[in-house]
Amino acid sequence: MREEVYFQFNGKEVSYSDLIKQFKEKWKQDSMRIKDIKSLKLYYNAEEEKCYYVVNEKDTGSF
């Protein structure tokens, strides 16, 4: 089974896979390694059109 998750708000749409891709690009730009990620939480704020993240229960940021 293949899952797809989309968030829709105010005529705009963003997919979960796009958020993951954007997170990975940001993480790499910040000179961090993907293999060091043990846990990832994403919080998408539709009103701000911004995604906040928590990596390994301690590192935070947004994109």
The pTM for the full model equals 0.85
Residues in the chain: 63
Query: Band of the pLDDT at 61, cuts 50, 70, 90?
Result: very high
pLDDT score of 35: 95
**Tell me: the pLDDT tens digits for 8-40?**
999 999 999 999 999 999 999 999 999 999 999
pLDDT of residue 41: 97
